[in-house]
Amino acid sequence: MRKEPKRPPPRDWPGVIGTAARLTHLARAKERNRNVAPAEAAQHARGKLTARERLTLLLDEDSFVEIDQLRRHQAYGMGMEKRRPPSDGVITGWGRVNGRKVFVFAHDFSVLGGSLGATFAKKIHKVQDLAMLAGAPMIGINDGAGARIQEGVNALAGYGGIFTRNVRASGIIPQISLMAGPCAGGAAYSPALTDFVVMVADIANMFVTGPDVVRAVSGEEVTTEQLGGASVHGRKSGVAQLIARDEKDGIAIVRELLGYLPANSRERPPRRMTTDAADRPCPRLSELVPAEPRKAYDVKHVIREMVDDGEFLEISDRWARNIVCAFAHLDGYAVGIVANQPSVMAGTLNIAAAEKAARFVRTCDTFNIPLVTLVDVPGFLPGTAQEHDGLIRRGAKLLYAYCDASVPRVSVILRKAYGGAYIVMDSKSVGSDFSFAWPTNEVAVMGSQAAVEVIHAKELRASDDPATRRSELVSAYETQLMSPYLCAEQGHVDDVIDPAETRTVLIRTLDVLRDKNAVRPLRKHGNIPL
């Protein structure tokens, strides 16, 4: 019987040799993986941190546990057999942020340009599955060249697995994407499926078709920054909820954001210690909000006066600026605040504002964050452009989001609330648990001036002194139909409160609602007007 010749072990693995040699080999392999001085220098030359530097900044000291560090791609041909670096271009594992467990992956641009192949994708699939099993947030740091061309359809299938897990995890664990480099083609859909996208100015970009394709198809000349930079997605498209000055700022934002979120949808957000008294009066609120309904003011000053320590994290602060969405704390408890912004477009609701607020409301509802709505809205933005672009359908998203939300909901009418926009802004009629009004506010189908012109048009035309008669009719309309006390009398608001007591009233009311248990109808899911 012919004896088979003894085969030498592979160059990069000790085969059947002893345990001590295996451990020595393992240590050497890990050391080679960490020895990234040339690649590190190249990444720094691009003005960017390395993947490991990003994870070091993100996670608590010495808390990172890496998994699949030694995995390599199994693709051959097209020269790939000569390029099989450990980790395959993505670093995965888990660690802690402020003592709380999180799962992470970070694209390593220094390895094959951070391009995604089958092994790369499997590593991300694995850490996504672990995050779901453990019920902990999933944070992805994106900086890659997209699908690895040499691996063909296997790379594309890898993205499909990531997208599927993004959707399965949606509404169960927080998912945060930090964009710290390029993200093009199909790769851009994974961040879009997560709860929050944080983009780093000047170095991050996202687009489905790049400048070359745009030029070839339309002849339009455009740079990557003009097509899909942080400014574009922060101000125009609304894809990015948070914009960072640099990578360190982006990582700090992610850490701050996690402080408002629970580990998963079965838990409540952590309570933060504060020395800001729950019964602190806020006398400046009466000064910050002018009694004149047409006079502009910045509602962010109002929010700052109400919340703990004057601190809040605004979401999508550059997009749809006529509405403000922010996370804050009241008596140490996380809350989501939605507020009309009178200093921008008079605080009217339009398509962008409705979609921005709807997304925020559903995010808060998903993660058990109570909602506080500050109302000062003159109505929906009129015009053919809004109507033709689907204001009815797309504006209904906000109405749907509020009606469907089961978390504690409290609204405060600061000054005015007119027409359908009043209903949409979490009125009692759509399920707000408590609604309060300040003494000077107005609630009506429309403003008094416009209402009088409609109701008394014939009388005003026939009057010898239309200006005086108009003034009398406006005064009568405001007294008879717009008084907050009339709203309270009919049960549309629960109380008319002193503005200085707003913080105290909110904290007291939210405490009553802490254990709210809303019963929902049995169904697979609703059909939101997308």
Q: Which residue numbers are catalytic? A: 185-186, 420-421
User: Distance (Å, rounded) from C-alpha 402 to C-alpha 336?
Assistant: 13
User: Distance (Å, rounded) from C-alpha 223 to C-alpha 276?
Assistant: 48
| Element housing 497 (H / E) | none
Relative to beta strand 323-330, strand 312-315 is: antiparallel
Helix, strand, or coil here: 506?
A: helix
Q: Which residue carries 């707003």 as its tokens? A: 502
Is the CA virtual torsion 242, 248, 251, 255 positive or negative? negative
**Contacts with 194 (C-beta within 8 Å, 6 or more apart), sequence order:** 138, 140, 166, 175, 176, 177
- Is residue 377 within 8 Å of residue 348, measured between CB atoms? yes
Would you tell me how many other CB atoms lie within 10 Å of the CB of residue 128? 25
**Alpha-carbon dihedral 416, 418, 422, 427, rounded to 10 degrees:** 70
CA atoms within 13 A on the CB side of 79: 4
Q: Which residue carries 């745009």 as its tokens? A: 214
| Element housing 285 (H / E) | helix 285-288
User: Distance (Å, rounded) from C-alpha 9 to C-alpha 16?
Assistant: 8
User: Distance (Å, rounded) from C-alpha 375 to C-alpha 391?
Assistant: 20
Helix, strand, or coil here: 56?
A: helix
User: Distance (Å, rounded) from C-alpha 442 to C-alpha 418?
Assistant: 8
Would you tell me how many other CB atoms lie within 10 Å of the CB of residue 250? 27
